């Protein structure tokens, strides 16, 4: 593919190059880029490259392969961004919960009957250490 691009870039330069033809004193014909005495400019047309069906099919398969690969990479990148955003949000929530526990005060949970069950100091310490461990594990 690189060689094709290089040729495509250089082709206009070759096509616009001036070529001269002249015959020397011995009757020998010469060609060159610099005009000589009695030289005539010659128009040079580059050959037209024609592809057969096999080459065209191979190029189409290659393009389909690279398109599929680009699509896979784009999807993987999007999934990685989504996972990063989800992790950042979870870390923020964990930090907020830890900050609430760190401030002190009375904490409770609501049981199945709708009554408040207050945490004792041991339960608060346990919750604090669990949050700390989750922060270390998930949020570095």
Q: What is the 3-state secondary structure (H, E, C) of the chain?
A: CHHHHHHHHHHHHHHHCCEEEEECCCCCEEEECCCCCCCEEECCCCCCCCCCHHHHHHHHHHHHHHHHHHHHHHHHHHHHHHHHHHHHHHHHHHHHHHHHHHHCCCCEEECCCCCEEECCHHHHHHHHHHHHHHHHHHHC
What is the rounded distance in angstroms from the CA atom of residue 42 to the CA atom of residue 36?
Answer: 13
Q: Domain range for residue 30?
A: 1-49
pLDDT at residue 49 in the model: 72
Quickly state the pLDDT bin for 37 (edges 50, 70, 90): confident
Q: What tens digit of pLDDT does each residue of 87-108 get?
A: 999 999 989 888 888 887 777 7
Assess if residue 22 is contained within a domain: yes
Calculate the alpha carbon distances from 124 to 104, 106, 140 in Å. Answer: 9, 9, 23
Q: Do the Cβ atoms of 20 and 42 come closer than 8 Å?
A: yes
Residues linked to residue 30 through DSSP beta bridges, in sequence order: 22
**For residue 60, is it within any domain?**
no
Q: Round the CA-based radius of gyration of the chain to a whole number and report it.
A: 38
| Residue 61, pLDDT score | 95
Is residue 62 a contact partner of residue 88, using CB atoms and an 8 Å limit? no
Residue with tokens 């989750």: 134
| Residues 80, 71 contacting (CB under 8 angstroms) | no
**pLDDT for residue 27:** 87
| In a domain? residue 27 | yes
Beta bridge partners, 62, equal: none
**What domain count does the chain have?**
1
């Amino acid at each position: 593919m690189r060689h094709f691009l290089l040729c495509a870039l250089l082709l206009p330069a070759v096509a616009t190059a001036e070529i001269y033809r002249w015959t020397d004193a011995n009757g020998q014909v010469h060609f060159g880029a610099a005009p000589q005495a009695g030289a005539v400019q010659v128009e040079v047309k580059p050959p037209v490259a024609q592809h057969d069906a096999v080459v065209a099919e191979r190029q189409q398969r290659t393009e389909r392969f690279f398109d599929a690969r680009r699509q896979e990479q784009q999807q993987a990148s999007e999934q990685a961004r989504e996972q990063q955003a989800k992790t950042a949000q979870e870390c923020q929530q964990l930090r907020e919960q830890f900050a609430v526990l760190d401030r002190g005060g009375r904490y409770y949970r609501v049981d199945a009957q709708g009554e408040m069950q207050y945490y004792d100091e041991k339960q608060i310490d346990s919750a604090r250490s669990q949050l700390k461990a989750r922060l270390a594990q998930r949020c570095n």
